[in-house]
Structure 1
Amino acid sequence: MGEKKKQRLAEAEAAKTLATIADTPPHGDEATEAAAVPPTAESVPTHPEELRASVTLRIGDKISLSATARATPAGLVASALIVTAAMVPLIWITRRR
């Protein structure tokens, strides 16, 4: 086997090892430290068609409210189905009276 081929094999093996190390979860103190930090909106992977909204409301100098929302098209469809499933029986009951 040629020297260049050996070097390429060694580099490929090193790259594979580094990829494996990057994919493994941390051990020991690092694992507890990572688990203690709650995920934030920025750290959560986003959906390509995700809808985002944020509002900040200030009342005077001391009161400040801020809210953020995220939704996907599938979540909006599921919400519409749940509302429909709840409203249809209510409408049916009120019309019977």
Structure 2
Amino acid sequence: MTAIDTPNGMAEGTLDGSMAEFFKAQTRSSAPVMVNVRTLKRFPTAGCARLEATLIQDGVPTQQGSAIPFVIRYEINLCRDGRPPTEGIDLDAASRVLPR
């Protein structure tokens, strides 16, 4: 949410809590999981944007016995309230697919 609110559209920090523990269990590394988020596009609805999140963790073991940094990047449309923006969504079509 910080990336949505900052004028430069960027935020960084350390992932913690259950999501960080899940990530560490998958990578088999105890190194901290760093998160960099940048705003790719702001939607007309206030507080809504397309964000690019990059998760970075050092010390991830490989099958060859070395340790390397692991990086995963994804994009998400998100509003400050935690829901996706409605721009570009056919709400009528979505309501027929989504469970009630």
**Same fold per superposition (TM over 0.5):** no
Q: Normalising by structure 1, what TM-score?
A: 0.26
Instruction: Say which one has the larger Rg.
Output: 1
Is the strand fraction higher in 1 or 2?
2
Greater relative CO, 1 or 2 (CA 8 Å, sep 6+): 2
Q: Normalising by structure 2, what TM-score?
A: 0.25
